[in-house]
Amino acid sequence: MSKRESKASGPDPSTETGAREGASEKAEERVRESFAKQGIMKLLGAEVVEVAEGRCVIEVPYSDELTQQQRYFHGAVAGAIGDSAGGYAALTLAPPDREVLTVEYKVNFLAPAWGERLVARGEVITAGGRLIVCKAEVVAISAEGEETYCAALQQTVATTPAEA
Amino acid sequence: MSKRESKASGPDPSTETGAREGASEKAEERVRESFAKQGIMKLLGAEVVEVAEGRCVIEVPYSDELTQQQRYFHGAVAGAIGDSAGGYAALTLAPPDREVLTVEYKVNFLAPAWGERLVARGEVITAGGRLIVCKAEVVAISAEGEETYCAALQQTVATTPAEA
Amino acid sequence: MSKRESKASGPDPSTETGAREGASEKAEERVRESFAKQGIMKLLGAEVVEVAEGRCVIEVPYSDELTQQQRYFHGAVAGAIGDSAGGYAALTLAPPDREVLTVEYKVNFLAPAWGERLVARGEVITAGGRLIVCKAEVVAISAEGEETYCAALQQTVATTPAEA
Amino acid sequence: MSKRESKASGPDPSTETGAREGASEKAEERVRESFAKQGIMKLLGAEVVEVAEGRCVIEVPYSDELTQQQRYFHGAVAGAIGDSAGGYAALTLAPPDREVLTVEYKVNFLAPAWGERLVARGEVITAGGRLIVCKAEVVAISAEGEETYCAALQQTVATTPAEA
């Protein structure tokens, strides 16, 4: 049986790989569902471009509406997608009956955010039952594909009982 | 002579009070000018509602476009106006030939941001020649005028040579 | 019965004031008991000089052993007593069957810490069931009693089940 | 052959590798010289165990004097050596006529610090002329050599004119 057919018939929870894939798909579904409900992410034009266990990447294309006074991406955009990328990375490791909530984050701005797109790569550092610590790097990517490291974020996320 | 006429003829730099008022007006002008150039602040619907020496208050009315998945104000909005309120508080104390730039900030989310308006009150803690440390509190205000303390932000701002 | 007699015979839990005083004494006892077990606080020569509900003040006298390369108090000392002052402020508001643990803190160094004593004043900003957010200011006090504001700290503390 | 002669015939500063090695030795010398002047590092029993360009590792052996109430290493020790490891990593990249100063740091405590030694690995994220952003990870190492990731630190360092 080919890999594709196997996938078409769904992950087999009896094998470890299958279970992991299933968990990962579930996590991606949770992330995309929650993300779609966030008015602010739509307003910013942000999109989830990757979800994996303990990892989430969010991207936003350049627009004049996202700038600070010198036409770079505003730090608020880096903060917003960095925080979200970290938070959703945490969600992928949270128990299924729990949601996540950012407790706090700290962000350093490293370079002017100049580019066609701003990309935030969130990653879990350590995951406990109640608290998950994450980091995110935010890079600006030029038309030529060159990356500039713009912001580094370190974050604490709490798991909370999901609302009924 | 009415207050208005007095103002029309401008503050008198020969008196200390006049000089201070002049400095303060200048600071407010700088803040409003810079703020007006920030695409993101317009997108969020944010407004500067108060500027004083070492202090700046920024406000944003509720809108469905500013929400997270449970219809509260998204933390990104609190972060954005908190960072700006702190940064502009710093600008009021920066030398006239200098601009300011957020080096980093840290924000704790204290309560769900539910209300008609979200208000960030930025304040300078200490101002050096090159670095200014600020804090900002972000409160949500209900239709009845009740305040909820939603976010506490601590921030480092650098002064930079203004662009030619 | 006079207030004093009432106090002499111990706090009366049937009156609000009595109950609060009792709670406060209990909190102070908890703080001092935990503090006494911390090897590092002894090593630094630190002392608890005040405990109240949601507040704790810790002090350390100057010594050559606490310095950085220019003979000021080392930032590590400010960080250590600032973190402790915040954490113990949190402990005064934690449920009796719970301990506290610093999740994270952020500290800005504002001025060289030069003086006879270094004093950290910790205070609770908001207290939830599981998480308590605190701040602490650290001041250096000269022989003449002049204060220099040296460090500002913002902190997240978690309550944890006390060990059996 | 004496050490001095060996050095004379040593790395040739006219080749890039030689220049770099020379720069690196100089950096290590600067770090060790500054470190030796810090009373607090001696008090904690801390040692510099590695210096490279943009990197510094500091270690402290376990002692009862470095504990919190449950006999783990106190968070203050992790904060102290993490801050120092980051700061000295920054110093290795600072211009020769400049010193460094921690502007601020943020630290997340990830796990109880239980082990024979506590090790902080500091690293520069980005280095500008005036500001250098660093991170440090602090691990506890057991007698068996097992590592526990205990604390993650993100830090801003300023370069300052060296004192005369």
The DSSP code sequence of B79-124 is HHHHHHHHHHHHHTTS-TTEEEEEEEEEEEE-S---SSEEEEEEEE
Mean pLDDT score of chain B = 87
For residue A122, which of A161, A162, A91 has the smallest C-alpha distance? A91
Residue that is written with structure tokens 């113990």 in the block: C88
Q: Tell me the pLDDT band of B91, cut-offs 50, 70 and 90.
A: very high
pLDDT at A71: 85
Task: Compute the distance between CA of residue D1 and CA of residue C71 in angstroms, rounded to an integer.
Answer: 40
User: String of b and e for B15-35 (b: at least 16 CB within 10 Å)?
Assistant: eeeeeebebeeebbebbeebb
Task: Compute the distance between CA of residue B115 and CA of residue A70 in angstroms, rounded to an integer.
Answer: 32
Mean pLDDT score of chain C = 87
pLDDT at B1 over 80: no
The DSSP code sequence of chain B is --HHHHHHT---TTSHHHHHHHHHHHHHHHHHHHHHT-HHHHHHT-EEEEEETTEEEEEEE--GGGB-TTSSBPHHHHHHHHHHHHHHHHHTTS-TTEEEEEEEEEEEE-S---SSEEEEEEEEEEE-SSEEEEEEEEEEE-TT--EEEEEEEEEEEEEEEPP-
Rg (CA), chain A: 17
Task: Compute the distance between CA of residue D96 and CA of residue D82 in angstroms, rounded to an integer.
Answer: 23
Q: Would you call A131 an interface residue with chain C, using a CB distance cutoff of 8 Å?
A: yes
Which of chain C's residues have a Cβ under 8 Å away from the Cβ of A131? 103, 158
Which of chain A's residues have a Cβ under 8 Å away from the Cβ of D106? 106, 154
Residue in D106, D149, D156 nearest the CB of A154: D106
Q: How far apart are the first and last CA of chain A?
A: 42
Mean pLDDT of C156-161: 93
What is the torsional sign of CA B91, B94, B96, B102? negative
Residue that is written with structure tokens 């470095």 in the block: D66
Two tokens, residue C121: 């004043």
Residue in C40, C64, C108 nearest the CB of D68: C40
Residue that is written with structure tokens 């002499």 in the block: C8
Task: Compute the distance between CA of residue B147 and CA of residue D1 in angstroms, rounded to an integer.
Answer: 77
Angle at alpha carbon of residue C157, lines to B134 and C128, rounded to 5°: 95
Two tokens, residue A110: 């490293």
Neighbours of A126 (CB within 10 A): 16
C149 φ/ψ angles, rounded to the nearest 5 degrees: -80, 110
Task: Compute the distance between CA of residue C59 and CA of residue C44 in angstroms, rounded to an integer.
Answer: 10
Task: Compute the distance between CA of residue C79 and CA of residue A148 in angstroms, rounded to an integer.
Answer: 33
Give the pLDDT confidence of D88-122 residue by residue, as tens digits. 999 999 988 899 999 999 999 999 999 999 999 99
CB contact under 8 A, D126 and A133: no
Give the pLDDT confidence of D20-35 residue by residue, as tens digits. 566 678 889 999 999 9
Q: Would you call D133 an interface residue with chain A, using a CB distance cutoff of 8 Å?
A: yes
Q: Tell me the pLDDT band of D16, cut-offs 50, 70 and 90.
A: very low
Q: How far is CA D35 from the centre of its chain?
A: 9
CB contact under 8 A, D156 and A106: no
The DSSP code sequence of D52-107 is ETTEEEEEEE--GGGB-TTSSBPHHHHHHHHHHHHHHHHHTTS-TTEEEEEEEEEE
The answer to whether the CB of D159 falls within 8 A of the CB of D130 is: yes
Give the pLDDT confidence of B59-85 residue by residue, as tens digits. 999 999 998 888 899 999 999 999 999
Task: Compute the distance between CA of residue A119 and CA of residue A56 in angstroms, rounded to an integer.
Answer: 11
Residue in D125, D152, D156 nearest the CB of A125: D152
Residue in chain D nearest B107 by alpha carbon: D106
Strands C55-61 and D117-127: unpaired
* Share of residues in chain C with pLDDT > 90 (%): 71
Chains A, D: CB contacts within 8 A come to 32
Residue D25 neighbours by CB under 8 Å, 6+ apart:
none
* Share of residues in chain D with pLDDT > 90 (%): 71
Residue B143 neighbours by CB under 8 Å, 6+ apart:
B115, B116
pLDDT at A22 over 90: no
Residue in D108, D111, D149 nearest the CB of A154: D108
Q: Is the pTM of this model over 0.90?
A: no
Give the pLDDT confidence of B13-29 residue by residue, as tens digits. 444 455 556 667 888 99
Residue in chain C nearest B148 by alpha carbon: C126
pLDDT at D110: 97
Task: Compute the distance between CA of residue B139 and CA of residue B117 in angstroms, rounded to an integer.
Answer: 8
Among the residue ranges A70-79, B139-148, C50-59, the one predicted with the least confidence is: A70-79
